[in-house]
Structure 1
């Protein structure tokens, strides 16, 4: 498979309003509110189906821009079709790239959805071998190759971080910072302009699965009611 770093018509089709591209986005895509499993490294798989060569390439992406970069890297401009789909949280896109509507991009996306993986893109490259597969055959070919490729991919769990803040009096800062360090909190910042005398706001980020435990630890060690903010 030839790798092209040039922006091609296939890449331009990603951001077009072509009817071949299916686009869906949720009203809110809060990637910082939980954990997700994604592909640890790029993988590929090749299958011959009725003389057509299908090459699936799957990899991790973080957003639409990285999806564009991924496509530009792995697509083959000499191929008959470069069909693809990706999923980032509740947002997804798919493209049939000239195959009959719904026979390529959607089956690829279904394979991603059924895998339980997130922040993933799959490109299936087809070199036509002269035998038409029919609508059902195309769906099975694209979906099957994508599914098989994803099953062969090594995965990793990514724990997202939750932005938090807590209002504390100055005498409690030592205790608060000790607890934040114990829970591996990051991006710790202090704001003195709270509008309250003797009170400062400490903001930070902590792993989502540690947020509740940290809150309880701060309440217990500070021995008083604290005002918390979660974003």
Structure 2
């Protein structure tokens, strides 16, 4: 799956109107609404939206003439085969009307230009494990995670040490089991899309 690595913003000005595109990576359908609210500007003339997240695709013109904003934005994401991304184009009207054709071009170019600025990455679905071990194993476990270049998201310390780590290969769990003499616990926290090269 092709997506973007991180949130990317790009601005173009057409006939005094400012078009600010924000591309937001999103892997969870439940986060779409909150992310759109977070990145939309209350003082803008329009906040037009297109997204492809999981099986969901949507385009919203937010008051622009029907079909001149959201759909052209969505078409760019489809043509470039970009998934799990929300595109918001925030427009501040500059006083000169662009007409339907001009608007369609403006919103198309806004998203296309922002994608040129974004870092496009291949992502794959990987399970996030929470691994818990006793304190006296923590140095060895930390070293093993580091030496295997695994993506460690978080480490927590309470009565045990907990590592939240993405694992493509579960043989790592066998190694840990051996290292700790079966004195470890693990559970799958969630599945998420992460860049292939990590």
TM-score bracket, normalised by the shorter chain, equals 0.5 to 0.7
Distance 2:169 2:4 in 1: 25
1:166-177 correspondence runs (5 A): none
Shift of 1:65: 2.3
Shift of 1:161: 5.4
Q: Which residue of 1 aligns with 2:169?
A: 184
Q: Which runs of 5+ in 2 are unaligned?
A: 128-167, 174-187, 189-198
Do residues 156 (structure 1) and 131 (structure 2) align?
Answer: no
Shift of 1:130: 0.7
Q: Which residue of 2 aligns with 1:64?
A: 29
Q: Which residue of 2 aligns with 1:113?
A: 78
Distance 1:108 1:71 in 2: 15
Q: Relative to total residues, which structure has the larger strand share, 1 or 2?
A: 2
**Partners of 1:115 and 1:150 within 8 A in 2:** no
Shift of 1:152: 1.3
Aligned-partner SS, 1:160: strand
Q: Which runs of 5+ in 1 are unaligned?
A: 1-35, 163-182, 189-203, 205-231
> What is the aligned counterpart of 1:131 among 84, 92, 96?
96
> What is the aligned counterpart of 2:64 among 85, 99, 104?
99
Distance 2:125 2:27 in 1: 13
Do residues 39 (structure 1) and 4 (structure 2) align?
Answer: yes
Q: Which residue of 1 aligns with 2:111?
A: 146
> What is the aligned counterpart of 1:81 among 41, 46, 52?
46
Shift of 1:155: 2.3
**Partners of 1:57 and 1:74 within 8 A in 2:** yes
Shift of 1:151: 1.9
Q: What TM-score results when the alignment is normalised by the length of structure 1?
A: 0.54
Shift of 1:69: 1.9
Q: Which residue of 2 aligns with 1:170?
A: none
Shift of 1:114: 1.4
Aligned-partner SS, 2:2: strand
Distance 1:107 1:59 in 2: 17
Instruction: Report the aligned-residue RMSD.
Output: 2.2
Distance 2:125 2:42 in 1: 37
Structure 1 residue ranges (4+ consecutive) displaced by more than 3 angstroms after TM superposition: none
**Partners of 1:61 and 1:121 within 8 A in 2:** yes
Aligned-partner SS, 2:90: strand
